[in-house]
Amino acid sequence: MADITEVEYIWKNGEIVPWAEATTHVLSHSLHYGSGVFEGIRCYQSPEDNMSYVFRLRDHMERLHRSCKIALIDLPYSVDELCEATLEVIRKNNLPSCYIRPLVYRGYGVMGVDPTGAPTDVVIAVWPWDSYLGADALENGVAVGVSSWRQRTNNSIPPSVKATASYMNSILAKLEAKEHGYAEAILLNEAGLVCEGTGENLFVVRDGILSTPPLSDGLLEGITRDTVLCLADDLEIPAIEESLTRSDLYVADEVFMTGSAAELTPIGSVDGRVIGKPGEITRALQDRYFDVVYGKVEEYAEWVTEV
C-alpha cells in the first residue's frame, strides 16, 4: 500500500478544482453514516505506443449508477457526463497512467440516519498508483489468510452496491490479516463459503479448471472478475462459477485475486498452506489481461477508452 500522490486537480460537482480545495464539511452525512458509493478504475499507458487508455470506463460508471439506484442516492450526472469528466481530469493533470476514484456521497445539510434533504456531492480524483499489494505481488504472489470476520449477506448491505459502509468490514479483516503477517484477507460468508477479499474477487484453479464463487454467495459483481471469465473463454480455459470452501483454497493448484486496484494478483499461500509460484493458467490470464488493458487486442477495443 502507498500513500496518495497529490496531483493538481480534482473534478467535483461539475468543475475542475485545485486538489487542496476539493474539501467537504465535517458534518457531511456520508462521513457519519457511510452512505456513499464509489468506483475504482485504472488508466494504463501502453509501453508500445505510449497511448493512454482507461479500462472499462463505461462499465464502471454504469455500476456506479446502479449502486446509487439501490442506495437511493440521486446521481445528477449521466454515464456519458461522468466518462467525459474522467477523461477531462486525467488530461488536466497530464497523467499518462493513474488510478481513478469516482465517489458519490451525501453532503452537508442534515444530520440523523434519515438522509432526506442532504445534497449529493460527486467527485472524480486521479493519482499515480502502482501495484496495489506491492511491486513484487504480480510476479511472485502474496500470502493471505482467511479472516475471522464474515462478509455481509445479501439482505444486509447489498453486495451489488459498492458502498463506503461495506468497507468497514474490509478494514477490520485487512488489519487482522496484517497483524497475522498476511498481505491480504479472504472473507467467508455467513454460511462459511468463500466470498471475496477485502477489495477483490477470487479465483482458484484445480486440475485445469478455473472456478470462482457465484454472485449469489454475497460478493461484489466485479468488473475485473467479468473480464477474467471472458478472457478464460478466449483462451479455452474451462471456467465455472461454484461455491467454494476454505479447503478448496488449500488444495488448489493456483489461486489469484482480481480487482481494478489488485489487477490479477497471484496468491502464494493461504493460512500457511503453500500454493506456490503463479501457475500456467494464472500467467496466461495475466498476459492476456495486460494485452487487453494496453489496447493491443482488437476484439476488446470497446473496453478501452483513449485519453
For residues 99 and 125, what is the distance between their CA atoms, to the nearest angstrom?
8
Catalytic residue among 69, 92, 162, 178: 162
Give helix 57-71 / helix 223-234 axis angle, nearest 10°: 140
DSSP string, the chain: -------SEEEETTEEEEGGG----TT-HHHHH--EEE--EEEEE-TTT--EEEETHHHHHHHHHHHHHHHT----S-HHHHHHHHHHHHHHHT-SSEEEEEEEEE-SS--SS--TTPPEEEEEEEE----TT-TTHHHH-EEEEEEEEEPPPTTSS-TTS-BTTTHHHHHHHHHHHHHTT-SEEEEE-TTS-EEEESS-EEEEEETTEEEE--GGGT----HHHHHHHHHHHHTT--EEE----HHHHHT-SEEEEEETTTEEEEEEEETTEE--S--HHHHHHHHHHHHHHTT--GGGGGGEEE-
Task: List C-alpha distances in Å: 116 to 13, 28, 64, 78, 292.
Answer: 19, 13, 20, 22, 43
Task: List C-alpha distances in Å: 226 to 88, 110, 164, 221, 268.
Answer: 27, 38, 22, 8, 23
If you search the block for the grid coordinates 449477506, which residue do you land on? 153
Q: Is 69 a catalytic residue?
A: no
**Which residues are annotated as catalytic?**
162
